[in-house]
A and B are shown apart, each in its own frame.
Chain A
Amino acid sequence: MELTPKRYVDTVVLSPVGRIDHSTSEDFKTALAPHMARCAEGQDRVILDFGGVEYISSVGLRVLMLASKQAKAQRGSLGVAALQPAVREIFDISRFTMVLDVFPSVREGLARLSPKALTAFDAA
């Protein structure tokens, strides 16, 4: 799965597209892994721009949970942003909004995670 990473100073924005379910979750996990390895204190912050994600099933949410656990263990920062309305409902119903940092937009996520990255984002 192509995540088209974009760097804004110390923050990487990843943009998965389509459905994250049993047929794509392993690819999503594999594509996410190198970015999560650097999602640590003093290294990168990661924002997942979900604007292009149409659907996420429980197995996709499990990938996000594992990524979140990894980020916390590494004292890193991970956020998910710009959820489509149906995906937002799935996050609410599964209670993932209570365990992940979810932002209305990428810009608002950057504002929370890294002011330097926000400045770079606005200038881009």
Chain B
Amino acid sequence: MPPDRPLRVKFWGTRGSIPVAMTSAEVRRKLISTLMRASGRRLETPEQAAAFLERELDFSISHTFGGNSSCVEIVTGQRDYVICDFGSGARVFGNEVLATRGPSGQRFHAFMSHLHLDHIMGFPFFMPIYTAGNTVRIYGCHAELEQAFRGQHAAPFFPVDFGRLPATIEFVRLEPDRDYDIAGLRVRPKLQRHGGDSYGYRFQAGDKVVVYSTDAEHKQDDLTEIKAFAEFFRDADLVVFDSQYSLAEATSIKEDWGHSSNVVGLELCQMAGAKRLCLYHHEPVSDDERIAALLAETRRLEEITRAERRVEILAAYDGMEISL
């Protein structure tokens, strides 16, 4: 077992299915709300303005949940980088690495939930792959792991063929339900219900546990499966959970579309004794107000269904960091 060490989790992309950007109309609505709330206030310095934003405005007005697709970093305190998925958020992550550590000599470990476009589309824009001396090791359970990454670099999809990438890029097939020690973490993949399959990952460093479980549908009447996921989430400090749909959608018109809900995520975390549930893989049509409302509703649901232990509820946003 790797040694005791604090973990941090940083979210670079939190949107499901496709990246989205705020529209001009949405920015304007936020500005109007902010200016009206600030009316008559003395905001003469950047510090006063920042304090006003943080203390007196709702998150959905003063910030945005963001629009990049899936990419989450597990910060281990070691030199190597660990991420989950190569969605469009990986572009921002790669640029941050270049800015803080320079262009070369970095080693990255990327755990792939699956190979749908929104989870691999950031790779061609991940700048470290264009510099010799960087190593990117991509882990996953799908047989088509390497093929998918090579395929999106091939003509006519992208102008730079995979074979011309200067960085060292390696693919490592994992098997579900096996423990691996990688980059200072104990890692266990688990098969999830999703079109073409997806895999969740349970990461452990010392007594800290993070579960990354996105693009997963849960059938509530399959008790064996529910118990298996509760075990996978057991005592986790943080569960990053696909809550793209409402429960009603996930059990009706969007059944078998491969995603889950805030309600099922909370129930699984309650069964598992998990400490925090982070709503993730946000529905692309949801604006900031809608995601903020989802967060408030899930917190309320936790209150009225709490048995013994409280589950802290969070909603992921691009740039959010959590220390465990």
Contacts and interface: CB of A to CB of B under 8 A. Distances in A.
Given A22-B223, A22-B226, A94 B247 contact: yes
A57 B246 CA distance: 14
Contacts of B220: 57-59, 61-62
A58 B297 CA distance: 15
Nearest to A92: B297
Interface residues of A, number: 22
B300 A89 contact: yes
A25 B220 CA distance: 10
A65 interface: yes
Interface stretch (B25-33, B125-133, B179-187, B261-269): B261-269
Q: How large is the interface on B (under 10, 10 to 19, 20 to 34, 35 or more residues)?
A: 20 to 34
Contact of B252 (A22, A55, A65, A92): A65
B interface: dominant SS:
helix
Interface stretch (A4-12, A38-46, A95-103, A107-115): A95-103
A62 B298 CA distance: 18
Contacts of B251: 58, 61-62, 65
Given A57-B267, A58-B267, A89-B301, A95 B221 contact: no
A61 B304 contact: no
Interface string B258-288: 0001111001000000000000000000000
Contacts of A62: 220-221, 251
B263 to A, nearest CB: 5
Contacts of A73: none
B50 interface: no
B248 interface: yes
B80 interface: no
A80 B267 CA distance: 23
A59 B304 contact: no
B221 to A, nearest CB: 6
B168 interface: no
B221 A98 contact: no
Interface in B299-315: 300-301, 304-305
B155 to A, nearest CB: 44
Given A61-B220, A93-B301, 10 more contacts: A57-B220, A59-B220, A62-B221, A93-B262, A93-B263, A93-B297, A94-B263, A95-B246, A95-B248, A95-B249
